[in-house]
Amino acid sequence: MSWTETLAMETLQKERENPAFDVHAMSVAHHGSEEALAFKKRVMLELERDPTFFNDDFYDLTKDELRERTIIKMHSILNWFTTESLDDFQARLAVISVADPGFWTRFGVHLGLFSNAVRSGATSGQFAYWMSKGMLSVRNFYGCFGMTELAHGSNVAGLETTATLDENTDEFVIHTPNLGATKWWIGGAAHSATHCAVFAQLIVKGKRYGTKTFIVPLRDPETYRLLPGVTIGDIGKKMGRDGIDNGYIQFSYVRIPRAYMLMRYSQVTRDGQVFEPPLQQLTYGALLQGRTLMMNDSGNIGKKALTIAVRYAAVRRQFKSDPKNQYETQLLDYPIHQRRLMPLLAQSVAFGFTSQELIRMLAATNQALDALEPGDPKLEQTLELLKSTHATSAGLKAFCTWATLSAIETCRQACGGHGYSSYVGLAPLYNDFAVHCTWEGDNTILALQSGRALISAYQESKNGKTQGEALDYLNRLDEVLNAKCASLDELHSLQGIENGLITATAYFVKLAAEEYDEYMNKGMTREQAFEQCSQIRFVAASVHTALFIFRQFRHAVEKLPESDNGVKKTLQTLCEFYGLWQIEEKAALVLRSGWLSSEQFDHVSRRVTELCAETRKFAIPLIDSFEYSDFVINSPFGRYDGNVYQEYFNMIRRNNPPLKPHPYFERLIKPLIQRPVPEVEDLDEAIGLDEEIDEIQAERREAEQQSKK
């Protein structure tokens, strides 16, 4: 082992000396409890020992090979799925998502999308029926989720697939009327699914009732032959997550029993009566889970990316700031490198705590929804809760997945040229993660939904309605709009930072609402007015979401017990860091709101730079406290022991064995490089064409002369 490697490992070890906090206690804080941390470690160990999850050799696999690998892993996972509590299994999937995003998706479409659709949309008899068919044991049954079409994604109400009741046979006829109505992107459709939860326009007696969900069998589970009228194709290569077999589906007059329509909310009777749900909103609960998962994944994947980039930055040395120094400077000691990575470290911790809170909100909302009975006096209250969870989760999903995608790319670039290597792990991570910004609600649309909710809340508030916790600043609007940062001390306190974000949020929510009113006063429809003010609505949502995250982080930190283990103190620093950095990132908005003065802005920037340097001091112990095993990180740059160069080299040699003979020298390179020099023929000599032309012309002239004579 040469000095490069020894130094690398020693350097990382040294970073762990005298940590600012008890690393285990910090880890417990990130994970919520000792039990949650212990369970995660158990899952990581089980994954690492499971031969089907072997992850050292997939880089050159084709899409087809990757998909086979994914199916092989399914055997293992079904064991846990059928024996573990749902909460434990969800926690297991959250770890798997970090280790193997492609697999997570393939199983997720059955469990998260299909089964959830049935769970939330079926009557209890229907649910029992699909259970008996093997839905949850995954026996002769595999579900996929048929919502998106080629020409319709976000506009679910505009889907064009039809489900027409045939009263003669008591069946629905499922049909794809045109190319644009082809079901598209359907995960698991290409090769895995036996059944599909199809979103289609319900048509009864010639009347359309909007989009409902129908369970449509696709394949014979015995032979996997497609059923009559079902056309399925492979959708092919994607940016990432090639382990999942997305497909397209076209239905040509496919008949299913009437009972295969999910009827918890809407019902169709034997004689063609249609009952619509009294409250359409109650059907939206199913959307919340995906957003919560994505928020959770944002925190976790951010931590994975940072584990790679920060450990590498500690080990990598480049340039000597002083020629007398023995070694070159660690990247982590460069202020600009701290500026690139440290705020993202604070962000990933903030996302982690916010995610814990969102999971709690989701559980409370689902509990309230499940407890609801017909004529329940709590209906109003539950709808409010649902609305609020909706708006909050929409904003969080959008801005946190965007922020994390961008963080992955920053981490990748912070690894310099090596970040472009697949083996370092950040390039595939980017490609896998990118889809989070689009599926389960396009981020731009979700952000605008969140902004719309803010405008509505503002209007309600103007009309005297008191707002809940997340929007409490609207209850004291005049006060917060006129607030100014009183001193640098205020800027250094968590309360002060919160004040700043509140004033900026309130300012832009008000501005958005006023712009909306302006358009309404010009005679636009509500929809048009909302569209016209979309830019400012988007801005309002972005700063509101930052405020929400900061508050969750602050709340989580402040309720930690006082202790001398350094955890609370460190997290307070990170919380200040995240908040001030957000103020700097959104400085134009905070300046505009009047809360911050130009001179104070200079101070914010300087303080953020200081906090980068402070965080750098405990960056490695903080990364350690994220507790991802080398197996899950799967990057030579993110190794716990810091043996970056040797392991990177070994990994590349394992994947590209040096003994392989030259693959195409004889066939392709030799004919190129040893091609003959083209002989330049002297055509004039060979043919003597010009002389011949002269002769021909001379003859012609002569003939002409002759004829003239």
- DSSP 3-state assignment of 677? coil
Member of 68, 558, 692, 695 binding a second copy (CB under 8 A): 68
> Torsion-angle region of residue 331: left (phi > 0), alpha (psi -120 to 50) or beta?
alpha
Q: At what angle do helices 443-462 and 379-414 cross, to 10 degrees?
A: 140
Backbone angles phi and psi of 148, in degrees to 5: -60, 145
Is 83 annotated in a binding site? The answer is: no
CB 503 within 8 A of CB 481: yes
The amino acid present at 2, given as its one-letter code, is: S
Q: Candidates 116-124, 367-375, 383-391, 427-435 — which segment interacts with a second copy by CB under 8 A?
A: 427-435
Closest CB to a second copy among 169 and 597? Answer: 597
Closest CB to a second copy among 232 and 306? Answer: 232
The contacts of residue 699 (CB under 8 Å, 6+ apart) are none
Member of 148, 296, 389, 393 binding a second copy (CB under 8 A): 148
CB 390 within 8 A of CB 405: no
> Is the alpha carbon torsion for 305, 311, 313, 318 positive or negative?
negative
Closest CB to a second copy among 181 and 263? Answer: 181
Closest CB to a second copy among 375 and 671? Answer: 671
Residue 144 C-alpha from the chain's centroid: 20
Choose among 589, 585, 569, 577: nearest CA to 550: 577
CB 123 within 8 A of CB 76: no
The residues in 311-370 that bind a second copy, with binding defined as CB under 8 A, are 316-322, 328, 334-336, 339-340
Closest CB to a second copy among 265 and 645? Answer: 645
Member of 525, 641, 690, 703 binding a second copy (CB under 8 A): 525
Question: How many Å apart are CA 410 and CA 310, to the nearest integer?
Answer: 11
CB 14 within 8 A of CB 314: no
User: Cβ of residue 428: shortest distance to a second copy, in angstroms?
Assistant: 8
The residues in 35-64 that bind a second copy, with binding defined as CB under 8 A, are 59-60, 62-64
Q: Is 440 a catalytic residue?
A: yes
Member of 102, 108, 112, 153 binding a second copy (CB under 8 A): 153
Tokens in use for 566? 């350094």
Return the number of other C-beta atoms located less than 10 Å from residue 648's C-beta: 19
CB 362 within 8 A of CB 289: yes
Closest CB to a second copy among 97 and 389? Answer: 97
Member of 314, 346, 536, 623 binding a second copy (CB under 8 A): 536
Question: How many Å apart are CA 401 and CA 599, to the nearest integer?
Answer: 33
394 is a contact residue toward a second copy (CB under 8 A):
no
User: Cβ of residue 303: shortest distance to a second copy, in angstroms?
Assistant: 21
Closest CB to a second copy among 328 and 684? Answer: 328
The residues in 460-479 that bind a second copy, with binding defined as CB under 8 A, are none
User: Cβ of residue 29: shortest distance to a second copy, in angstroms?
Assistant: 30
User: Cβ of residue 452: shortest distance to a second copy, in angstroms?
Assistant: 12
User: Cβ of residue 412: shortest distance to a second copy, in angstroms?
Assistant: 8
Question: How many Å apart are CA 91 and CA 432, to the nearest integer?
Answer: 20
Member of 17, 373, 380, 527 binding a second copy (CB under 8 A): 527
Which run of H or of E encompasses 232? strand 230-234
Q: Candidates 13-21, 125-133, 279-287, 417-425 — which segment interacts with a second copy by CB under 8 A?
A: 417-425
User: Cβ of residue 601: shortest distance to a second copy, in angstroms?
Assistant: 6
Member of 217, 272, 566, 594 binding a second copy (CB under 8 A): 594
User: Cβ of residue 100: shortest distance to a second copy, in angstroms?
Assistant: 17
The residues in 156-185 that bind a second copy, with binding defined as CB under 8 A, are 158, 178-180, 182, 184-185
Choose among 104, 107, 174: nearest CA to 146: 174
Member of 392, 534, 542, 552 binding a second copy (CB under 8 A): 534
Q: Tokens 């995960």 identify what position? A: 187
The residues in 624-663 that bind a second copy, with binding defined as CB under 8 A, are 645-646, 648-649, 652-653, 655-656, 658, 660, 662-663
Active site residue: 440, 576, 584, 614, which one?
440
Closest CB to a second copy among 39 and 538? Answer: 538
The residues in 217-236 that bind a second copy, with binding defined as CB under 8 A, are 221-224, 231, 233-236
Go through the chain and tell me how many residues it has. 709
Question: In DSSP terms, which residues pair with 163 in a beta bridge?
Answer: 174, 202
Is 229 annotated in a binding site? The answer is: no
User: What Rg value do the Cα atoms of the chain yield, rounded?
Assistant: 32
Distance spanning both ends of the chain, measured CA to CA = 103
Complete edge-to-edge strand list for the sheet that includes strand 246-251:
183-187, 246-251, 230-234
Q: What are the residue numbers of the active site?
A: 440
